[in-house]
Chain A
Amino acid sequence: MSILYDEGQQAMAEETRRVLAARTDRARQLELLDRCGEWDETFWTTAVDQGWTALAVPEAFGGLGLGLIELGLVAQEAGRVVSGAPFLTYGHGAVCALLASEDEGLQSTWLPRLAKGEVKAAVAFAEESSPMQPHPSVEFRGGKLQGAKSGVAGGLAADIVVVSASAAEGPVLVLVEAGDVLERRAIRSFDNSRLFADMIFDGSPARVLVSGDAADEAALDIQAQMAVLAAHEQAGGAEAAMQAARDYALERRAFGQPIGAFQSIKHRIAELYGLVEIARANCIHAAARQGRGDFLEAAACARLSAIEAYDMATRDAVQIHGGSGVTWDGGLHLHMRRARSLAIELGNALFWEDLLAIELTGVAA
């Protein structure tokens, strides 16, 4: 795996960008902010039509057998346009969970349908403010789940959910067919198309994917893979915000010159360029390290630098836009909101700092 995109990968990124630019409707995205429980169906149909859902599914299950590099390219472009649904990242999480399982029945049931985009998946690891736990409070007894998971992205629309739970014999990852077997409490959010929900399981039937130490290992790997995809989205979003700031600084004039001629503005945008490129480099590196011993370290680097880049880029792009940065119709707040929701999903910066510190020092906090 190389950290230099090959021609096919570059062509794929360009095509993805072209398709998403043509099919993204800013007005619709703004509407969605006011509507809890809805997502941008055009984005999702596009993802399915373009085969993005099949990218990282093995060929034996109807996928294309590619990996995080290709999925990351799509995520980066999706982030650039503040995509209208979270299903690509979490669908990949479900694919990883199924592949970690030895249950061939579950694999052959769900992997082809995930590849075709027939089902939407969510991954429910977080409980209250903690993104992952050594001992989840959700319990799995006699094939049934009891307990609550918090802030599940895509939770309001998911057909299947991967849940981390505690069983008598230790940790497990289980699969729930959502239907009516669980209660979803919608979170009215600042970024509603993420479809956040708290999930209450009260005897919900579930099937075991992985159990014991393997469940903990799988959960961490799934979290890291999804975090690398989120980091690509963040890097794409950060670049879009940086470019918006650049364009505005060229066009807007004050004191007789474009504001981009003032060093307080141009240096800020140059700093953003640096953060974006550093995040992007970490993302490409992490995607290329999937399956290697240093993957978790690389994923943490990608996640930390991407959170920083997106936060800084949205903060500064809004500031550089002055008044027009804070209007509803200007739409820059879409990036601001997405920077925040993506920073919370999949574990905040402090969570990843600690994981990375453990990798680098061997010492737990």
Chain B
Amino acid sequence: MTDLDVWQERARAWLASVEPEFGLRARAGLTQDEDLALGRRYMAAKHEAGFSGITIPIEFGGQGLSPLHKVLFDTLEAKAAMPIGYFGVSTAMPLPILIRYCDDKAWVRERVVAALRGEEIWCQLFSEPAAGSDLAGLRTKAEGGEQGWTINGQKLWTTFAQYSDYGILIARSDPTVPKHKGLTFFWVDMKAPGVTVRPFRLANGDIQCNEVFFDDVAVADSQRLGPIGGGFSVAMATLMIERYAASDADGFGPSIGAFVEMLRPLTINGKPALKDGRVRSVIARNHALRQGLDSIRRRAMLAMEAGMEPGPEGALNKLFSVRSRQKLSELALDLQGSAGLAYTEGAYTKADWASSWIGAPTMRQAGGADEMLLNTIAEKILGLPQDHRPDKGVPFNQIPA
């Protein structure tokens, strides 16, 4: 066994040992507040066991290991259905950004450890009502300069802002230059005067997303991350950090195996559903697709293990797997007939067809809409031209609304 295998076995054993306390069964029936509290205890236990902040340098309270270690652990952890959703954004992007751009290293270390232990939560204040895929079109204003800044505006889709202690924020510091050039990056205290957080419900009933309003919120210049006007590069660097995220060929929905088992007792026109040619075709085609995505994932892991850069085809997983999940979930509900009508809000998407179905559109939009992913593949991998962009090179305040 390689060192990596040994490490992975240790991770597997630890996860198995804590699964009864924190896993899917322990979480069943909990309110969101109770689940969050359980999650905080899990994060603390994980930190003590030495599995949190895997890629974060040791001097900042992490493990100082490779992205491959992280992907391996995240994959195992997702299988165990641990209560980690509340900390996903918090521990993914904000921490490396603080480490890279914030000067007060002792303070950064405190924040990193508190976030890794689930004691503090960070959110990411990027999207706005009029800036989603077109992030650089954002309108939240940062006025001032080295004497201090005042933030005014509104963020939207901010995941778990209702539980957050801090956030990383991107705002427009100069509207007179083209849109990518007038942005600046900050960290903010979510409890500061003038910050208002309003959670709202998503279509599946979940209360994860928030509107966040900034009314004359004062921010010190020491909270600036990166140069004035350099915010877009910082945001892009943030997104690059998560290049090697754990992926799931089932699109975080149920597996083909689960589909087959769900169908086994069902009939169509008096015959077993599994004998129906249409059903068999769906099973075979979705399995072939997911098997391909899984081979791409495993090949990327092997490449990383060999110290090579994985191929760009890793970018395909979300696009293809979530569409497969969406359609398969629709069919799974339909095939169950009246039994498919039941709905348990908040059920785990990998184990519940209705949750998988109703949550699928969110997956197709969050973290890069399908259409943006197709643009990225076309432009970055295949070298096709950018779309026509009438706002290109135009000062932000002269772009027609």
- Which residues of A have CB within 8 Å of B274? 357, 361, 363
B384–A277 CB distance below 8 A:
no
Q: Which residue of A lies closest to B274 (CB)?
A: A363
B292–A305 CB distance below 8 A:
yes
A282 to B296 CA separation, bound complex (whole angstroms): 8
Choose one: B287, B319, B385; the contact of A261 (CB below 8 Å). Answer: B385
A357 to B259 CA separation, bound complex (whole angstroms): 12
- Which residues of B have CB within 8 Å of A2? 302
Instruction: Please tell me if B387 contacts chain A, counting CB pairs below 8 Å.
Output: yes
B385–A282 CB distance below 8 A:
no
If the complex has contacts A260-B385, A278-B296, are A353 and B281 also in contact, measured as CB distance less than 8 A? Answer: yes
A267 to B385 CA separation, bound complex (whole angstroms): 11
A354–B382 CB distance below 8 A:
no
Choose one: A249, A257, A365; the contact of B388 (CB below 8 Å). Answer: A257
Instruction: Please tell me if B327 contacts chain A, counting CB pairs below 8 Å.
Output: no
A304 to B282 CA separation, bound complex (whole angstroms): 12
B284–A266 CB distance below 8 A:
no
Instruction: Please tell me if A269 contacts chain B, counting CB pairs below 8 Å.
Output: yes
Give the Cβ gap from B332 to chain A, nearest Cβ, in Å.
15
Give the A-B contact count at a CB cut-off of 8 A. Answer: 137
Instruction: Please tell me if A21 contacts chain B, counting CB pairs below 8 Å.
Output: no
Stretch at the interface among B114-122, B129-137, B156-164, B369-377: B369-377
CB interface residues, B 368-401, toward A, < 8 Å? 371, 374-375, 377-379, 381-388
Instruction: Please tell me if A271 contacts chain B, counting CB pairs below 8 Å.
Output: yes
CB interface residues, B 271-315, toward A, < 8 Å? 272, 274-275, 277, 280-281, 283-285, 287-289, 291-293, 295-296, 298-299, 302-303, 306, 313
Mark each residue of chain A from 266 to 308: 1 if its CB lies under 8 Å from any CB of chain B, else 0. Answer: 1101110110011101101100000000000010111011001
B316–A250 CB distance below 8 A:
no
B377–A279 CB distance below 8 A:
no
Q: Is the interface of B mostly helix, strand, loop or mixed?
A: helix
Give the Cβ gap from B261 to chain A, nearest Cβ, in Å.
9
Instruction: Please tell me if A356 contacts chain B, counting CB pairs below 8 Å.
Output: yes
A270 to B374 CA separation, bound complex (whole angstroms): 6
A305 to B379 CA separation, bound complex (whole angstroms): 24
Give the Cβ gap from A269 to chain B, nearest Cβ, in Å.
6
- Which residues of B have CB within 8 Å of A282? 288, 291-292, 295
CB interface residues, A 1-47, toward B, < 8 Å? 2-4
B283–A263 CB distance below 8 A:
no
A246–B382 CB distance below 8 A:
yes
- Which residues of B have CB within 8 Å of A260? 378, 384-385
A260 to B377 CA separation, bound complex (whole angstroms): 13
A361 to B282 CA separation, bound complex (whole angstroms): 12
Give the Cβ gap from A307 to chain B, nearest Cβ, in Å.
10
A274–B319 CB distance below 8 A:
yes
Give the Cβ gap from B308 to chain A, nearest Cβ, in Å.
8
A2 to B379 CA separation, bound complex (whole angstroms): 31
Give the Cβ gap from B373 to chain A, nearest Cβ, in Å.
8
B287–A356 CB distance below 8 A:
yes
A354–B292 CB distance below 8 A:
no
A354–B280 CB distance below 8 A:
yes
A269–B316 CB distance below 8 A:
no
If the complex has contacts A4-B303, A267-B374, are A356 and B284 also in contact, measured as CB distance less than 8 A? Answer: yes
A257–B295 CB distance below 8 A:
no
A277–B385 CB distance below 8 A:
no
Instruction: Please tell me if B320 contacts chain A, counting CB pairs below 8 Å.
Output: yes
A7 to B303 CA separation, bound complex (whole angstroms): 12
A273 to B314 CA separation, bound complex (whole angstroms): 12
Instruction: Please tell me if B256 contacts chain A, counting CB pairs below 8 Å.
Output: yes
- Which residues of A have CB within 8 Å of B316? 273-274, 277-278
- Which residues of A have CB within 8 Å of B285? 304, 308, 353
Give the Cβ gap from B290 to chain A, nearest Cβ, in Å.
9
- Which residues of B have CB within 8 Å of A304? 284-285, 288
Instruction: Please tell me if B260 contacts chain A, counting CB pairs below 8 Å.
Output: yes
Give the Cβ gap from A108 to chain B, nearest Cβ, in Å.
38
Instruction: Please tell me if A352 contacts chain B, counting CB pairs below 8 Å.
Output: yes
Give the Cβ gap from A284 to chain B, nearest Cβ, in Å.
7
- Which residues of B have CB within 8 Å of A298? 291
A46 to B324 CA separation, bound complex (whole angstroms): 42
Give the Cβ gap from A250 to chain B, nearest Cβ, in Å.
7
- Which residues of B have CB within 8 Å of A267? 371, 374-375, 378
- Which residues of B have CB within 8 Å of A308? 285
Instruction: Please tell me if A322 contacts chain B, counting CB pairs below 8 Å.
Output: no
Q: Which residue of A lies closest to B381 (CB)?
A: A273
A273–B385 CB distance below 8 A:
no
Instruction: Please tell me if A143 contacts chain B, counting CB pairs below 8 Å.
Output: no
Give the Cβ gap from A283 to chain B, nearest Cβ, in Å.
9
A356–B288 CB distance below 8 A:
yes
- Which residues of A have CB within 8 Å of B296? 277-278, 281
Instruction: Please tell me if A51 contacts chain B, counting CB pairs below 8 Å.
Output: no
- Which residues of A have CB within 8 Å of B275? 363-365
A284 to B291 CA separation, bound complex (whole angstroms): 11
Instruction: Known pairs A249-B384, A250-B383, A281-B313; list 9 more (Cβ under 8 Å).
Output: A261-B384, A266-B379, A266-B385, A269-B378, A270-B374, A278-B293, A284-B295, A301-B291, A360-B283
- Offer 25 A-B interface pairs, CB within 8 angstroms, sorted by A: A3-B299, A246-B382, A246-B384, A250-B383, A260-B385, A266-B382, A270-B382, A271-B374, A274-B377, A277-B292, A277-B316, A278-B289, A300-B284, A301-B287, A301-B291, A301-B292, A302-B288, A304-B288, A305-B292, A350-B281, A353-B285, A356-B284, A357-B283, A361-B264, A361-B274
Q: Which 9 pairs show the lowest CB-CB distances between chains A and B?
A: A278-B292, A281-B295, A357-B280, A353-B284, A266-B378, A270-B377, A261-B385, A277-B313, A356-B284
Which residues of B pack against A, CB within 8 Å?
256-257, 260, 264, 272, 274-275, 277, 280-281, 283-285, 287-289, 291-293, 295-296, 298-299, 302-303, 306, 313, 316, 319-320, 371, 374-375, 377-379, 381-388
